Amino acid sequence: MFCNRVKQTRTSPISEKSGMPMDQIIIHVDMDAFFASVEMRDNPSLRGKPLIIGSLPGERGVVATCSYEARKYGVYSSMNIKEAYRLCPHGIYMHPDIEKYKTVSAQLHEIWNTYCTAAETIALDEAYLDVTEKARDPEGARRIAHLIKQRTRDEVGLTCSVGVAYSKTAAKTASEEKKPDGYFEILTPQDFVNLIIDRDVRVLYTVGEKTAQKLYAAGIRTVRDLRNNNETSVRLLGKQGRWLAMLADGIDNRKVTPFRPEDVKSISREVTFQEDVSDFELLKDVMILLAIGVERRAKRHGLRGNGVTLKVTYSDMRGITRSHMAPGCDSAAAIYRESVRLLDKVEKRPVRLIGVGIYHFSDQSDTQLTLENLFSRDETEPDGELLHLLSSLQNHYHLDFAGHLDQIFQMNLLHKTVEYMRKHF
């Protein structure tokens, strides 16, 4: 279960290096090549080999993650799978087993959350932990960090990298500093500045490829350049530019914030076809399954959408997003109905990717989100309208959803089902 913040009077811990009080001590934990490491743990014959988890060669898709052996060939997460195969044709390619990774993730977060008063889960394999109260000082934080590493290895059979720092940005930077199986600490803003000052601006939180290109064009390539050109950064990027100027000075006062369902901005599901789809009736059939996936995730979060979105990527990679308000979209049938209305209005030409989502949420209940229900399956029975839609799919494609609907929403099976539908349309 997620840790809840504990409020109590305390004295700020002291940084050994500066002698100044530390307002908070944050640990960032990041698993090492998580998906690949789980597969190597479960199949030791994969160890030491270039393992690439994601799409298979010949399929459309990207690398989800890869072993460190594969990274030596230039393969990295989010790389197009065709480029990964060009760089590493002798690699071992596997589809991800998301359900297995979720189970392992729940074990990890249960261990990590033992040591914090607040946990902010970033992904299945990553979290910020506020250990200010439990650690009390940097030495206490070190003990906690090494306990986390030891228990993760002993109880789950995996390695993680851990950073201890005075801020979230510094903690994440620290955890990345000595990967894999690393430990690093950054106890003061000056330590942070000294470490990154001559590194590329992309080391700073929120600087992605597009932002970096804007800064490069203005002659700002390193953190030092940014510190010397704050006004230029603000002129180019506005509020983000001011934020980056603060980060370049080591200032980040963000707190570790446990996830709340009401903070979710949107929920969506999407699939990429292995061959472009020109028949929009097939797209509508696929959207039935996507709508069910969206409904189930929303119900786990206790949320009801009041707006529906449609995402389409055409064969030439041009993408469009359409949306409209649709109050009370809390059923798959309603999500499907409204998303089809959007689809009927878009340009009719070959489609590579289709996605359905909801947004503008209101609460369905006061359900508290925990790791248990975050990763659990929803057993809600389909309503009458949805049963009719599923019946039409079963009859047309000779599918059998009885007792198997939950399994279909595992990533691999969803894509396999969609591909089966495409081939048998």
State the catalytic residues: 126
Q: What residues are paired with 268 via a beta bridge?
A: 357
Structure tokens at 212: 């970096």
Contacts of 287 (CB under 8 A, 6+ apart): 336, 339, 340, 343, 354, 356
CA distance 19 to 292: 56
Look at residue 270 and give its three-state secondary structure: strand
Helix (H, G, I), strand (E, B) or coil at 309: strand
CA distance 162 to 126: 10
Count other C-beta atoms under 10 Å from residue 150's C-beta.
11
H or E segment to which residue 353 belongs: strand 351-363
Please name which of 396, 366, 245 lies closest in space to residue 303, comparing C-alpha atoms.
366
Half-sphere exposure of 239 (CA within 13 A, CB side): 0
Selection from 69, 71, 93 nearest residue 82 by Cα: 93
Residue pair 28/175 in contact (Cβ under 8 Å)? The answer is yes
- Decide: helix, strand or coil at residue 187: coil
Which two tokens mark 374? 């975050």
* 227: enclosing H helix or E strand: helix 223-228
Angle between helices 384-397 and 411-423 (to 10 degrees): 60
> Which of 223, 230, 225, 229 is closest to 197 using CA atoms?
223
- Amino acid identity of residue 250, one-letter, is G
How far, in Å, CA of 227 to CA of 224, rounded?
5
